[in-house]
Amino acid sequence: MMNMTETNQLHIMFFPLMAKGHMLPIMDMAKLFAARGVKTTIVTTPLNAPVFFSKTTQSSKNRSINIAIKVLNFPAEEAGLPQGFESLDLITSHETEMKFITAMNRLQQPLEQILEESRPNALIADMFFPWTTNLAAKFGIPRLVFYGSGFFTACITESLNKHKPHEHVNSDTEPFIVRVLAHQIKLTRLQLARLRLENEQSNEFTRLLDRLDESFESSYGVIFNSFYKLEPAFADQYKQGRKVWHIGPVSLCNRDDDDKAQRGKEASIDQHDCLKWLDSKKPNSVVYVCFGSLTQFRDSQLIEIAKGLEASGQEFIWVVRRENEEDDNNPNWMPKGFEERTRESEKGLIIRGWAPQLMILEHESVGSFVTHCGWNSLLEGVSAGLPMVTWPIFAEQFFNEKLVTNVLKIGVAVGAEEWVQFGEQRVVVGWEAIEKGVRKVMVVSEEAEEMRNRARGLGEMAKRAVEEGGSSWNDLNSLVEELRLFRGL
C-alpha cells in the first residue's frame, strides 16, 4: 500500500446512481481504489448511505481503507415523489420513473457544493448523470464515466445508433440483424429500450439517453466493470480513439463469507442457515434463481416459476420478490402445497427479500444461475464459473443475454421476447419453458457439459484478471497513476 500524507494523497469522489445495481459496484470500486492508497469519497443520499456502511466496510480489518461518505438530500418531494423516495429500486410505474429522473437532474447544485467543499482530484460518476462532466470541468478535474454494463453492450448500442437496422423492419416482432464484428445478433424492436420508451412518449428519459452520448465523448474517459478476456474483441473495438479502463469483476474484492453475505444490506436469511442448507447438497446440484433488485413479478408469473422449478426435479434456491410484497400472507402466489412440499423434502430454499448472492453463487453445490441478465448478476455468475438460464426483463438485459447465449455460449435463453416497463409485469414465460431451460443446463448431456466447461474457464479468467499482474489489476494501477500525474503528484 502506498504511504502518502493527506496533502499529497490522490482524492477521488464517486457519485453512483441511487439503485442497488449501481451503488454496489461503486462501493466495490471505491474499496479497490482505497486499497491502493487513494482517498475515496462516496456521495449519496441519506436513506442510501447505509448501503456503504456495511459491517464489513467498518470492520477492524478494513480500518486502513479510507472511504468517506458525503450525504446530499434527494429532492423527492420537489419532483412529486413521496418523502424518502430515494432509490430506483422503489419505482413501480412509468410515472414515478419519470419523476425520479426529474429529481436526479436537480442534484447538480448540492453536488457542486460538495465538490466546492471537498476539492477532489477526480470525479467518477454514473453514466446516468451526464451533467457531471460539465460540473467537473468547472472545478478543473477529470470526470470519468462509470458504464454500468459491458463492452459488448456498448458496441451493440453504437451499432444500433449508427446503422439503425430496426428502422428497416415492418413490425415490432420482425427480427433484424445487428452486426458487431464477426457476430450477427438477432433482435426485435420489442427488445429495445429506447423504442419502447419513445412509443410511450417518455421524453424525459429519451432526452437523458441523448445526453449520455455527448457526455461520454466529452468526459475524460470511461470505466467498465468487466475484464479483457471476457469480451476482448469488443473491448478493442470500443477502445478505439477513447480513454477506457476495465477493472472488473469488482465484486471479487469481497473475499470472505462475511463480505459476501453482508454486501449492500443485511440478508433476509441468516447466512449460517443458508450455508448449512448449501453444505448439505451435492456439488453442482442446486439452481439459483434471482431476478435482481428491481424486478417484482405478479403472482401469476411467480406461479409459473414455481411450477417450472418443481417440474424440473432440480434442487433450488429461489429469491422471491413480489409486486405486492405487503400482502405476504396471501398464499395464492404459488401452487397449492408448493412451499410445504419444498420445505419438507428440502428440495428448495425460498428467500424473501435480499439474498447473500455472492456467497450463494460461489458455493460448490450451486450448478447454474437463472438470471435477468443484469450486468452485475451476469458478471457474478461468470466469476463463479456457472452456466446460466437467461430471462431478460428490461434495460440492456436483452443485449447481455446475447453475450451469454450467442457469444460466450455459456447459457440458454428461457424465451422472454419483450422488454417490460416498470409496473407492467405479467406472465411472459410459461412453466414449460422454465422447466426446459433449467433441465438443459442441469441434466448431464454433452451440450450441458460443454457449457459448464466454458463457464468454469471464464470463472478462472475472471479471478486471474483481478489478481496482481492480471489485466484488470494492471488497468486499475495505470488509471491511478494517470490521475496522480494529472494532478502533478
DSSP letter for each residue of 182-216: TEEEEE-GGG-HHHHHHHTT-HHHHHHHHHHHHHH
pLDDT at 7: 60
103, 184, 398, 436 from 187: Cα distances, Å: 33, 10, 8, 22
User: In this predicted model, which residue has the larger pLDDT, 428 or 112?
Assistant: 112
Q: CATH assignment of 6-162+195-252+464-487?
A: 3.40.50.2000
- Measured CA to CA, the distance from residue 228 to residue 438 in angstroms comes to 29
- Rounded to the nearest 5 percent, the helix, strand and coil shares of the chain are 50, 15, 35
| Grid cell of 153 as nine digits | 453492450
- In Å, how far are 123, 127, 398 from 118, measured between CA atoms? 11, 22, 40
pLDDT higher than threshold 70 for residue 153? yes
State the residue for C-alpha cell 452485475. Answer: 376
Residue range 328-350: mean pLDDT, rounded: 81
- Distance of alpha carbon 349 from alpha carbon 285, whole angstroms: 13
pLDDT at position 56: 45
Q: How many residues does the chain have?
A: 489
Choose the weakest-confidence range: 51-65, 424-438, 464-478: 51-65
In this prediction, residue 331 has a pLDDT band, given cuts at 50, 70 and 90, of low
Residue ranges of E strands in 21-111? 39-44, 67-71
What is the residue-averaged pLDDT of the chain? 89
Mean of pLDDT values over 305-330: 81
Q: 196 vs 71, which has greater pLDDT?
A: 71
- Known catalytic membership, residue 126: yes
Secondary structure (3-state) at 174: coil
- For residue 12, give the C-alpha cell: 477521488
Amino acid sitting at position 370: V
Q: Which residue has the higher pLDDT, 243 or 295?
A: 243
Question: What confidence category does residue 333 fall into, taking pLDDT thresholds of 50, 70 and 90?
Answer: confident
pLDDT at 204 over 80: no
C-alpha cell at 304: 409459473
The sign of the CA dihedral 471, 16, 408, 354 is positive
Under the banding of pLDDT at 50, 70 and 90, the label for residue 448 is very high
What are the structural domain ranges in the chain?
Answer: 6-162+195-252+464-487, 257-462
For residues 209 and 451, the model is more confident at 451
Task: With cut-offs at 50, 70 and 90, classify the pLDDT of residue 257.
Answer: low
Using DSSP bridges, classify how beta strands 176-180 and 183-187 pair: parallel, antiparallel or unpaired.
Answer: antiparallel
Over 80: is that where the pLDDT of 346 sits?
A: yes
Which of 42-56, 212-226, 260-274 has the highest average model confidence (pLDDT)?
212-226
- Using the structure block, give the residue that is written with the C-alpha cell 448500442: 157
pLDDT in tens, 221-256: 999 999 999 999 999 999 999 999 999 999 999 887
Contact between 402 and 452 (Cβ < 8 Å): no
What is d(CA 392, CA 390) in angstroms, rounded to the nearest whole number? 6
Q: What is the pLDDT of residue 344?
A: 83
pLDDT at 1: 43
Which one is catalytic: 11, 28, 126, 166?
Answer: 126
Question: Environment class of residue 347 by beta-carbon count within 10 Å: exposed (0-12), middle (13-18) or buried (19+)?
Answer: middle
Annotated active-site residue 11? The verdict is no
What pLDDT does 100 receive? Answer: 92
User: Which has the minimum average pLDDT: 107-116, 163-172, 330-339?
Assistant: 330-339
**Tens digit of pLDDT for each residue in 274-292?**
999 999 999 999 999 999 8
Distance of alpha carbon 142 from alpha carbon 123, whole angstroms? 6
Whether 329 has a pLDDT exceeding 70, the answer reads no
pLDDT of 38 > 50? The answer is: yes
Which amino acid is located at 215 in the chain?
S
Q: pLDDT at residue 357 above 80?
A: yes
For residue 335, the model assigns a pLDDT of 85
Mean pLDDT computed over 48-56: 74
More confident residue, 192 or 238: 238
* pLDDT band at 60; cut points 50, 70, 90: very low
What is the percentage of the chain residues whose pLDDT exceeds 90? Answer: 69
134 vs 267, which has greater pLDDT?
134
Lowest mean pLDDT: which of 183-197, 261-275, 361-375? Answer: 261-275
- For every residue of 373-435, which 3-state class applies, written as one string? CCHHHHHHHHHCCCCEEECCCCCCHHHHHHHHHHHCCCEEECCCCCCCCCCCCCCCCCHHHHH
The three cell numbers of residue 217 are: 465523448
**Residues 331 and 408: beta-carbon distance below 8 Å:** no
The pLDDT confidence band at residue 184, using thresholds 50, 70 and 90, is very high
Is 202 a residue whose pLDDT tops 90?
no
Cell numbers placing 404: 451469454
Residue 465's pLDDT is what?
98
Average pLDDT over residues 185-206: 71
Handedness of CA 91, 94, 96, 102 (dihedral sign): positive
Could you tell me the fold of the domain covering 257-462? Answer: Rossmann fold (3.40.50)
Binned at pLDDT 50, 70 and 90, residue 392 comes out as very high
Q: Above 70 in pLDDT, residue 73? A: yes
Confidence band, pLDDT 50/70/90 cuts, at residue 26: very high
194 phi-psi bin (left φ>0, alpha ψ -120 to 50, beta other): alpha
DSSP of 248-316:
--GGGG--SHHHHHTSSS--SS-HHHHHHHHHTS-TT-EEEEE-TTT--B-HHHHHHHHHHHHHHT-EE
6-162+195-252+464-487 against 257-462: fold identical: yes
Q: Which of 119, 171, 182 is nearest to 417 (CA)?
A: 171
Instruction: Provide the terminal-to-terminal Cα distance of the chain, rounded to the nearest Å.
Output: 16
Q: pLDDT (tens digit, 9 = 90+) per residue, 358-377?
A: 999 999 999 999 999 999 99
Q: Determine how many CB atoms are found less than 10 A away from the CB of residue 204.
A: 15
